[in-house]
Amino acid sequence: MILSLFLFMKGFAQEDVSVRGSRLQGKSHAGQLEGGFSSFGVSGTFHQGAILPHRKIVSEIVGEATKSIELSIYKNTFGKKSWQQLRNYPRLGVSFIAMDLGNEKELGNGYGIFSFIELPSNHYNKISWSMKLGYGLGYIEKPFDREKNVKNVAIGSNFNAIIYANSIWSLRLSEELKFALGVSMVHFSNASSSRPNLGINVLSLNSGFSYGFGEKKRFLSQKIDKRPRKWVKSVRGTFGVKEIPPADGPKYFVSTYSFDFIKPRAPKSSVGFGVDLFYNTSLTQAIIDDSSSVSGSLNNVRLGLGGIYAFDFGKISLAVELGAYVFSKYKKQGPVYSRLYTKFNASDKLFFTVGLKTHYFVADFPEFGIGYNFN
């Protein structure tokens, strides 16, 4: 919820850029758009689809068709920040979704509240395409329970992360009103903080309406200064908990300490590399459970090297890291790992991160942390 409010109210805050010589970007599709676009909007969307049985065992809880109602409020961006112009003036907002998961006995309903960014291809065409992406807090009504609900092998906790993607085609009906059709994917997961955690994936077709309101504004277009392409050194520490099989076992503390080198490569992205030191207190037990591994000192320690690519949105970056272990006593998960995280820059020096560490798209543990840039 805090993340949602931050994105909506701040609009991915960044130092304002000069608007001297600003003009309306592009050409109007219809005369009524020459006065600009509404500052805010609301939308309602109905989804109907199915749970994807990505594992054979998950098919046992797949029931009838899923049905969902999604309500959203958003604000349009107009290029006041340079990243908004670079991303074609996206929409920022907050959505609430209520989902009938098609299996009242083992799953119940699902709910989610999440912040989102909607990246449009064109604002002026009568028919346009956009991609809506978001994540936030999810809730599953009936998770796994050893006594009451042993068939739900997909999710072991009520509270989970929700990840949302929707490919949308919109038809402009009037100056303020749009009709939309889309294909969406919703994913629930607790990032292995509780077992089981195979996750729930819901694929849907959807349709809905949106309505704009508020002050009319025009898109600004101005020269954008080049980003200084210099290396920035940073340190970050992240923390989390995880659970290993069997379900209802103890929680294990995990932490990661990273030293990164990051450099802007383009106006909208950055690249870099880093050294990661992992301390995972579940590994000792995992080694004991795995007879093929050899127990010894430093069981809980792993050292890795990774390459980093980041999509930059002003003071927020969405980063992907692909790495390999150079030291690890535990071998069963393989030599390769990945980390996906959001970086929130509170200042030029201080930043916060929320992310997920995985092995071959299988969640290892969630990560929440803080970092510091050495410019």
Q: Are 63 and 206 in contact (CB under 8 A)?
A: no
Q: What pLDDT is stored for residue 297 in this prediction?
A: 78
One digit per residue, the tens of pLDDT, for the chain of length 375 reads: 444 434 433 433 333 333 333 444 444 333 335 567 899 999 999 999 999 998 888 888 999 999 999 999 999 999 999 999 999 999 999 999 999 999 999 999 999 999 999 999 988 889 999 999 999 999 999 999 988 999 899 999 999 999 999 999 999 999 899 999 999 999 999 999 999 999 999 999 999 999 999 999 999 988 888 888 899 999 999 999 999 988 888 999 999 999 999 999 999 999 999 999 999 999 988 888 876 555 677 899 999 999 999 999 999 999 999 999 999 999 889 999 999 999 999 999 999 999 999 999 899 999 999 999 997
Nearest to 363 by CA among 206, 196, 207: 196
Q: What pLDDT is stored for residue 292 in this prediction?
A: 56
Domains of the chain: 2-217 (2.40.160.20), 232-374 (2.40.160)
Q: What pLDDT is stored for residue 306 in this prediction?
A: 97
DSSP states of 114-170 as a string? Answer: EEEEEEES-SSSSEEEEEEEEEEEEEESS--BTTTBTT--SB--SEEEEEEEEEEEE
187 strand-pairing partners: 163, 201
Strand blocks (E) in 294-361: 301-313, 316-328, 336-345, 350-359
Say how far residue 285 (Cα) sits from the centre of its chain: 31
Written as six digits, the tokens of 339 are: 């980390």
pTM above 0.85? yes
